[in-house]
């Protein structure tokens, strides 16, 4: 016997649990970037954290931020600080407030293009600074791919990873960087280490600032999509060495482009 949509009754019963597990996995990156603010510049760091959530696609265009009181509790700052950071991002075109029963603070769609975000490199970048950024990226993301492939993944984790790959392959050019970031962050999430997710996210913000300076090149995007598929396959079959090697090769490709355009 099948239920609506052609699924068996057993599949229909399991599906809500799988969806909840996927949601729990996807919240790991948000939790990692919502750690307490510990610097003396509470407003600046709160704004930077919110911008990370937005520009990395963890809270996608059209989606709502958590309530102010919840963000204040996560960041361990006052609600006034959160409110001021939200107001500043609204003025910059990243957020909008909606009233009514389903109101709240929502990420603007489309997002604005503008100057580098806090933590992103400025227009003048030395060779040593570029080396530092790309070396850290390789260490973090190759390690994340190896760690993800070394774990016994649940059905929900596999579904989440496949969903990120599918949406990236279908991405419009304007969405490509954001969805590319989400796939790489999902691989970090699958490592099971919130600390690693946080480090990958921070580095990815910097790398995206560099990638935004170079054009999207169609053959490169096609090649990247092929590599993404191979990396995901290696993670799903549990081949840690292969996943790490494929990720290293993938990062070397974008590194070559960055050095060619920015050096």
CATH number reported for the structural domain that contains residue 65 in this entry: 1.10.10.10
Shared domain check, 255 and 179: yes
17 is a domain residue: no
Is omega for the bond preceding 110 within 30 degrees of 0, making it cis?
Answer: yes
Residues 120, 209 contacting (CB under 8 angstroms): yes
Q: How confident is the model at residue 31 (pLDDT cuts 50, 70, 90)?
A: low
15 is a domain residue: no
Shared domain check, 216 and 131: yes
Shared domain check, 140 and 56: no
Interacting residues of 252 by C-beta distance below 8 A, sequence separation 6+? none
245 is a domain residue: yes
Strand partners, 35: none
Shared domain check, 134 and 76: no
What pLDDT score was predicted for residue 142? Answer: 98
Query: How many percent of the chain have pLDDT more than 90?
Result: 41
Shared domain check, 254 and 212: yes
Interacting residues of 69 by C-beta distance below 8 A, sequence separation 6+? 79
Shared domain check, 237 and 152: yes
Q: Please give the residue range of the domain that contains residue 179.
A: 127-262
- 51 versus 189: the higher-pLDDT residue is 189
10 is a domain residue: no
What pLDDT score was predicted for residue 12? Answer: 43
181 is a domain residue: yes
Shared domain check, 170 and 236: yes
E strand residue ranges, the chain:
95-98, 104-107
Per-residue pLDDT tens over the stretch 126-159? 888 899 999 999 999 999 999 999 999 999 999 9
Cα-Cα end-to-end distance for the chain:
63
Domain boundary residue, one of 107, 139, 158: 107
Shared domain check, 153 and 87: no
- 164 versus 1: the higher-pLDDT residue is 164
Q: Can you tell me the distance from the alpha carbon of 197 to that of 33, in angstroms, rounded to the nearest whole number?
A: 8
216 is a domain residue: yes
Residues 225, 169 contacting (CB under 8 angstroms): yes
Q: Can you tell me the distance from the alpha carbon of 2 to that of 7, in angstroms, rounded to the nearest whole number?
A: 5
Neighbouring C-beta atoms of residue 223, cutoff 10 Å:
13
Domain boundary residue, one of 45, 79, 107: 107
Mean pLDDT, the chain, as a whole number? 83
Domain boundary residue, one of 50, 73, 107: 107
30 is a domain residue: yes
Q: How confident is the model at residue 2 (pLDDT cuts 50, 70, 90)?
A: very low
Query: How many percent of the chain have pLDDT more than 70?
Result: 80
Per-residue pLDDT tens over the stretch 71-84? 999 888 899 989 99
Shared domain check, 131 and 96: no
4 is a domain residue: no
Q: How confident is the model at residue 29 (pLDDT cuts 50, 70, 90)?
A: low
Lowest mean pLDDT among 64-78, 121-135, 160-174, 191-205: 121-135
Is residue 110's pLDDT more than 90? no
């Amino acid at each position: 016997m099948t239920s609506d949509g052609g699924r068996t009754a057993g599949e229909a019963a399991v599906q809500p649990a799988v969806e909840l597990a996927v949601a729990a996995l996807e919240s790991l990156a948000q939790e990692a970037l919502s750690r307490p603010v510990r610097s003396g510049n509470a407003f600046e760091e709160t704004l930077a954290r919110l911008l990370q959530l937005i520009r990395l696609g963890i809270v996608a265009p059209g989606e709502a931020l958590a309530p102010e009181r919840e963000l204040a509790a996560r960041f361990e700052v006052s609600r006034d600080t959160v409110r001021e950071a939200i107001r500043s991002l609204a003025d910059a075109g990243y957020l909008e407030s909606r009233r009514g029963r389903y109101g709240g603070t929502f990420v603007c769609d489309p997002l604005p293009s503008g100057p580098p975000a806090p933590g992103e490199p400025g227009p003048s970048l030395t060779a040593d600074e570029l080396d530092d950024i790309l070396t850290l990226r390789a260490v973090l993301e190759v390690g994340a791919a190896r760690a993800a492939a070394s774990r016994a993944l649940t059905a929900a984790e596999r579904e989440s990873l496949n969903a990120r790959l599918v949406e990236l392959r279908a991405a419009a050019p304007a969405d490509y960087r954001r969805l590319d970031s989400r796939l790489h962050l999902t691989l970090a999430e699958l490592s099971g280490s919130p600390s690693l997710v946080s480090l990958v996210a921070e580095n990815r913000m910097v790398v995206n600032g560099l990638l935004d300076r170079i054009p999207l090149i169609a053959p490169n995007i096609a090649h990247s999509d092929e590599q993404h598929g191979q990396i995901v396959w290696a993670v799903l079959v549990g081949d840690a060495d292969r996943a790490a090697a494929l990720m290293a090769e993938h990062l070397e490709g974008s590194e070559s482009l960055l050095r060619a355009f920015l050096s």
